[in-house]
Amino acid sequence: MSEAAEQPDWTIARRFRGFVPVVVDVETGGLDPQGHALLELAAVLLDVDEHGRLYPTEEIAVSVHPSALTVVDPVSIKIHGIDPSDPEREAVEERAALDAFFRPIRRQVKALNARRAILVGHNAPFDLSVVKAACERTGYKRNPFHPFSTLDTVTAAAVAVGETVLAKACTAAGFEWDNSRAHGALYDAQKTAELFCHITNRLSTENGRAALRVREPLK
């Protein structure tokens, strides 16, 4: 019987030192987290199987109505193709979007008795800064993410497959990539989650432990 099977309390939070990794992608109206509008929020929750291997579980996707305190750079629309005024987006106000986005994440953190969530992303510091800026604009106080630490798949992909662009990293890792769906928050989060799980699992033992660790932490 494997070590993971012998220890049913082995969770994704234990794998990451008490933090729950959540893969996040945002689409915005520009590159300024404070001044440019948040347009889409997406996340993919993760878990570990009986062998300690990471896999994607629940998905979250919310379209956001631009805050009156922000603007949308027309150049950004040419990149992601999101029309903020399109009624078919079914966008909600920024605070309501944050509440819908954070609720399942807080639920997982609580269920695992974890310290808090940690944001995983491709260029993760940008995604975290956008989320934090939205919280500041709306006075939202229950952000479940660590305030400054992230897990960035740019670095992980550079080390693991020698690529830093998400599309090229996914292709190098052997995954399909659909350019027509790229720059949508949910699709990019899905592919980032796929890449993160792949790299983490390859850098883990058969029981899901960190493969390069040479000793257990001091008690």
Structure confidence by residue, pLDDT tens digits, 156-178: 999 999 999 999 999 999 999 99
Flag whether 183 is marked binding: yes
> pLDDT tier at 6 (50, 70, 90 boundaries)?
very low
**154 vs 157: CA distance, rounded Å:** 5
For the question of residue 183 being annotated catalytic, the response is yes
Q: What is the pTM of this model?
A: 0.93
Phi, psi angle pair for 23, to nearest 5°: -85, 130
Range name among 61-70, 120-129, 145-154, 204-213 with the lowest pLDDT average? 204-213
DSSP reduced 3-state for 167: helix
Whether 25 has a binding-site annotation, put simply, is: yes
For residue 40, say whether it is annotated as part of any ligand binding site: no
Which of 51, 80, 146, 183 is catalytic? The answer is 183
Q: Is 86 annotated as ligand-binding?
A: no
Check residue 219 and give its pLDDT. Answer: 57
| Closest residue by Cα to residue 101 from 130, 81, 68, 126 | 130
Query: Which are the contacts of 71, defined by CB distance < 8 A and separation ≥ 6?
Result: 29, 30, 35, 36, 37
According to the model, what pLDDT value does residue 185 have?
98
Give me the pLDDT at residue 4, please.
Answer: 41
